[in-house]
Amino acid sequence: MRTPMIAGNWKLHKTLQESSGLVTELIPAVADNRTVEIVVAPVYTALSKVAEVIAGSNIKLAAQNCHPEAQGAFTGEVSPALLKDVGCHYVIIGHSERRQLFGEKDEFINHKARALAVAGLGIIFCIGETLEEREGGQMFDVLRRQIRYGLKQLSADQMAGVVIAYEPVWAIGTGKTASDVQAQEAHAFIRALLAELYNVQVASATRILYGGSVKPGNIDGLMTQPDVDGALVGGASLNADDFARIANFQPPG
Ligand code: 13P
């Protein structure tokens, strides 16, 4: 009952021409896929162009970040309303690169989440533990903290617009994917936590994506896990063939 989502986070890659070239290749490669929600997140400067190219296709647009305020003296920032205006369905927030490289804290991420919910945009909310936290036995505490504070004050109704992406930091860009069992363990914990913080309906309706070195060779295994509802893909989303193969994963069974 949860529609799988495969989302490509292009991070800081690709010019306008390269971005439009990538989606132009991707469109026919995923055109027959009616069962998966397919999303791409280009850099801000390519959003408008990519929106134009994917119009009428089954690919949706996401932004990689936003600022929580609607307008004002916030040099260099982009608001939820502007992202909606350019054609975004979703906005990624809480990515570990934002947390680690730009010092974003749970409270600020929560401010973005609330602003996006009010603006009527979908949210791809990223969480995940570092290797140190995992090895120190703090993984579940970290995930709990990120969810409790990151989604604070979002109502059960607003949770319908939230997709959670579990991205263990040690698996991002390292080629070390979490095993199917490790992903399932974290996802099951997250779902149980949603039942505790909200209710069973929210827990069973919320999609939980896995992210961290997802490739054509490991997506099928990950998707066999009952609580893995899709993937947030970095490096492999920069290549149309690879990303199409991931989006066209072979369903379990
Ligand atoms: P990689 O797929 O390159 O490991 O990146 C994962 C990620 O950070 C997606 O948001």
Q: Has residue 235 got a pLDDT over 70? A: yes
pLDDT surpassing 80 at residue 208 = yes
> For residue 92, which atom of ligand 1 is closest to its CA?
10
Closest approach atom of ligand 1 to CA 172: 4
Which of 99, 166, 167, 239 to mutate to test ligand 1, by most ligand atoms within 8 A of the CB atom?
167
Angle between helices 47-54 and 16-30 (to 10 degrees): 30
Mean pLDDT, rounded, of the chain: 97
Distance CA 137, CA 126 (A): 20
Cα–Cα distance, 150 to 154 (Å, whole number): 9
Residues whose beta carbon lies within 6 Å of some atom of ligand 1: 9, 95, 167, 172-173, 211-214, 232-236
Q: How confident is the model at residue 252 (pLDDT cuts 50, 70, 90)?
A: low
**What CA–CA distance (Å, rounded) separates 121 from 141?**
28
Mean pLDDT (whole number) for 83-92: 98
SS (H, E, C) 33-94: CCCCEEEEECCHHHHHHHHHHHCCCCEEEEECCCCCCCCCCCCCCCCHHHHHHCCCCEEEEC
* Whole-number pLDDT of residue 1: 86
pLDDT tens digits, one per residue of 138-181: 999 999 999 999 999 999 999 999 999 999 999 999 988 899 99
Please say if the pLDDT value at position 241 is more than 80.
Answer: yes
**Cβ-Cβ contacts under 8 Å for 176 (sequence gap 6 or more):** 170, 212, 213
CA distances from 61 to 6, 124, 143, 172 (A): 12, 12, 27, 22
Q: What's the CA-to-centroid distance between 248 and ligand 1, angstroms?
A: 18
Mean pLDDT of 89-99: 98
Catalytic residue among 95, 97, 129, 133: 95
Instruction: Say what the pLDDT of residue 253 is.
Output: 62
Pocket test of ligand 1: the residue of 125, 233, 238, 243 to mutate, having most ligand atoms within 8 Å of its CB, is 233
Count the residues in the chain: 253
